[in-house]
Amino acid sequence: MLELYGMAGHLIRRLNQISVSVFNDRMREAGFDVTPVQFSALSVLSTNPQVDQATLAGLIGHDRVTMGSVLDRLHNKGLIERKTSPNDRRAKVLNLTDKGRNLLAQATPIVWALQTDILAGLNEDERSEMLRLMQKTVDAGNQLSRAPLMRPKND
């Protein structure tokens, strides 16, 4: 059983648990009701306005079905708006509301600050190296995901 503790999948799952816990604690302390996935959606919408749900899901590497409920919650909180697409009347395009832009502006510095806490125990050089290696691994395995990340064309 102890072999489990050295397996990549187990360690990645544990690091995700830690990351989500730290994020949720810091957001709650700051008075924000936003999850990591909701923050990701807001962040991507700030630089990619007028995208549809499927495109947004790809831009954050999240499955389309779950993205619908994430967007429902953001809409119910008044953080995004949905409008009929000028190109396809069946589709809705998404934009941040003023409330969404305001929350994002206030929450972003907090999210940057908590990054060090997520990688507690590592010095600055080690954090940089870990991020480099995680990025390399994520890039190499992107197409293995059930929700591959689709980078913006201008990235």
Mind listing the domains of the chain with CATH numbers?
8-142 (1.10.10.10)
For the whole model, what pTM was predicted? 0.90
pLDDT in tens, 13-65: 999 999 999 999 999 999 999 999 999 999 999 999 999 999 999 999 999 88
Q: What is the mean pLDDT of residues 126-155?
A: 89
Give the pLDDT confidence score for residue 71 in this predicted structure: 96
For 54, residues 6+ apart whose C-beta sits below 8 A from its C-beta are: 64, 67
**Tokens read off for 112:** 């940057």
pLDDT (0 to 100) of residue 1 = 58
82-124 pLDDT, tens per residue?
998 888 888 889 999 999 999 999 999 999 999 999 999 999 9
Confidence at 77, pLDDT banded by 50, 70, 90: very high
Q: Where are the alpha helices (DSSP H) in the chain?
A: 8-29, 36-47, 53-60, 64-76, 98-118, 124-141
